[in-house]
Structure 1
Amino acid sequence: MAAQQSQGIQTLLEAEKEAAKIVQQARQYRVQKLKDARSEATKEIEEYKKAKERDFKAFEQSYAGTTSNAQTAVDNETEIKLQAISESYTRSKDLVVKKLLDRVVLVKPELHRNLKKLGA
């Protein structure tokens, strides 16, 4: 009976070793699957980034011409307005200086309005 118990214990120990080996293989398999999934996800992310970057570059190139055209139009309009302001300044500067000098030099001696009320 001792031999039978010994044989039963030996069988249980072997079964336990086999189960531990199976569990270890399952863990290794799971770890490998996680690594594969991560690397696959990284590849997909990189492909997605590249695709979006290409789309953005295409979008940017399609609208790059319109921004340069708009900038050119704004520059031309600004130049025209600056010329108009310069011409207006050139035409009006003498008249403005004359009006200012006339006002500064023109002195009418009269009583202040508050002083007039007191005297009346």
Structure 2
Amino acid sequence: MAAQHSQGIQTLLEAEKEAAKIVQQARQYRVQKLKDARSQASKEIEEYKAAKEAEFQSFEDSRAGTTSNAQSAIDRETEVKLQQITDLYETNKDAVVKKLLDRVILVEPELHRNLKKVEA
């Protein structure tokens, strides 16, 4: 009976070792599946990011032409206005200087409009 009892214990120990192996394999399988899921998710994120970056670049390129056209139109308009101001300055500067000099040099003395005559 002791041999049978010893054999039963030995069978239980072997079964326990087998169960430990199965549990260890299940843990390794789970860890490997998690690693695979993470790498797959990372890959999908990178693909999505690249697609969105390409979409943004396309959008930016389509808008860049419009912006540069508007900027060049504004630059041309500014140049025209500056030329007009310069032309007006050149044509009117002599007249303005003459008016200023006349106001400074040709002073006509007159009494202030608020001054009242004091009768004595």
Shorter-chain TM-score tier: 0.7 to 0.9
Cα offsets for 1:3-38 (capped at 9, x unmatched) = 233222212211211111011101110111111111
* TM-score relative to the length of structure 2: 0.80
Q: CA deviation at 1:82?
A: 0.5
Match status 1:68 vs 2:35 = no
The amino acid of 2:24's aligned partner reads: Q
Post-superposition offset of 1:73? 0.6
> What TM-score results when the alignment is normalised by the length of structure 1?
0.80
Q: Would you say how many aligned residue pairs link Structure 1 and Structure 2?
A: 118
Instruction: Say if 1:113 and 1:8 are closer, same or farther in 2 by CA, change over 3 A.
Output: farther
Q: Structure 1 regions of 5+ residues with no counterpart?
A: none
- Aligned-pair identity in percent equals 77
Distance 2:80 2:65 in 1: 23
Instruction: Choose between structure 1 and 2: higher helix proportion.
Output: 1
Q: CA deviation at 1:109?
A: 5.5
Aligned pairs for 1:17-32 (under 5 A) are: 17-32=17-32
One-letter amino acid of the counterpart of residue 12, structure 1: L
Q: Give me the whole-angstrom Cα distance separating, in 2, the residues matched to 1:16 and 1:55.
A: 58
Unaligned runs of 5+ in 2: none
